Structure 1
């Protein structure tokens, strides 16, 4: 099977090499790599172009934000599976995509997700948060569960059947899309029990109490737009579930070499 990996970037020269290197260094050999740049002015474009034909498709133009750029990448993708890795993030070892695609073949599922670690932006050896998603259970979204979106790999036909990211959902667009695919349309899932993405800390939705309240409002809207009814506790369980992630410790060997 072919996988399309998409990186969206805007003025990401500081970290984009780590992201690209972690993709072009994967051992799985049937990868289509798409980079969507929002018109960077800090040298990002030159860095991306320096990789030559290791980048399958590259465009640099103004867009309407992160999720508009993701939608562009999905529209260009020709793989059986689509994954998205943001410019600040990277895969922890060279066999991530091999492991993901092996599980797709074994499980015949619609989507796969795994675990994530957050690290200090400058010192990537310093772990600040460990998101262990755990196995999926039916109606888990009603109890505040969701997989980490950067670890979410999806059969391309799900986007064709159920739509792309909604640009009116702001920072909750990834939550709304996964709610739509998994909870509403019952996409079948498989859990890859390993850390498959390293993220540099600094998410917008949790940057302040005000941002968290706005994110909670957008999460509620995601249910309404899909004609779904959450429990009373659903939207507060979602942020509360994150608290334990700041105290959990990942396996010391998550950046394995074999």
Structure 2
């Protein structure tokens, strides 16, 4: 059984209220061969002091102005020595032991290139709502922007390099773009993508997050990304085909979940 090394990257800018939980969630996984890189874009709110508290456990960190989130993540992966890669944003965090379990999937299957689980949304009132995904389907992902959940995903460095890494020209939907390119490459190898029914991460909703404050910009980038795939037949973009795929998506969800609706965890985080 191969033992894989993982590189985890966290980009951050002025997230002092959240980043300690993010860092703790990575370091407490009990991963023996962990390379953790934090790339700060010049925070002025105390974030750097929190990073310094943990620097002996970090492979590398820096703090200076950069070209943005996608550029910082790309920088981290460019210097990565891990066989596996993932990133966790500075306002999200991993569930206990979940990342370690994900690594175990790769240790037991050398053909695996991309593995992802489910996730929870942490609402502003402190409650967590579980979000359950379906197995990856390129057409469904492209037509409905149903992407693989980034904070709950791990992939091989060989896959990352083979698709050219992140598109640093994108500022919002670079994860959607990456997973589409990766998923398209792996279409002929369905066993290389695995969805595990495990709540791997927690995605925090708060007013300053890009997902809340810049929704229109995500939509604009999503549309530009979709146009990249011009080899995707025009007839498949029709309203009729989209309705067909929507039904197919719902049927797949209920089949994989045994008709279990989305769960809501009302406990406080």
Tell me the TM-score normalized by structure 1: 0.82
- SS of the residue corresponding to residue 140 of structure 1 reads helix
State the partner residue of 1:86: 89
Q: CA deviation at 1:164?
A: 2.0
The superposition leaves residues 106-128 of structure 1 with CA deviations (integer Å, 9 ceiling, x where unpaired) of 3331111111111124x54x12x
Q: CA deviation at 1:160?
A: 1.6
CA distance in 2, matches of 1:17, 1:170: 24
- Identify which of 191, 203, 210 aligns with 1:204: 210
- SS of the residue corresponding to residue 107 of structure 1 reads coil
Contact 2:38/2:60 (8 A) holds in 1: yes
CA distance in 2, matches of 1:228, 1:113: 26
RMSD: 2.9
CA distance in 2, matches of 1:10, 1:138: 33
Contact 1:117/1:199 (8 A) holds in 2: yes
State the partner residue of 1:222: 225
Structure 1 residue ranges without an equivalent (≥5): none
The 1:138–1:227 alpha-carbon spacing in structure 2 relative to 1, beyond 3 Å, is: closer
State the partner residue of 2:104: 102
- Identify which of 40, 43, 46 aligns with 1:40: 43
CA distance in 2, matches of 1:235, 1:45: 47
Q: Does 1:249 align with 2:263?
A: yes
State the partner residue of 2:134: 134
Contact 2:186/2:193 (8 A) holds in 1: no
- Identify which of 8, 14, 29 aligns with 1:5: 8
Structure 2 residue ranges without an equivalent (≥5): 254-260
Q: CA deviation at 1:68?
A: 0.8
Name the count of aligned residue pairs.
242
Farther-moved stretch of structure 1 (227-236 vs 40-49): 227-236
Structure showing greater radius of gyration is 2
- SS of the residue corresponding to residue 83 of structure 1 reads strand
Q: CA deviation at 1:143?
A: 4.8
CA distance in 1, matches of 2:211, 2:119: 17
Contact 1:8/1:87 (8 A) holds in 2: yes
Q: Does 1:162 align with 2:163?
A: yes
The superposition leaves residues 164-213 of structure 1 with CA deviations (integer Å, 9 ceiling, x where unpaired) of 221333311111111111124537211121110011114534557xx34x
The 1:207–1:61 alpha-carbon spacing in structure 2 relative to 1, beyond 3 Å, is: closer
Q: CA deviation at 1:248?
A: 2.5
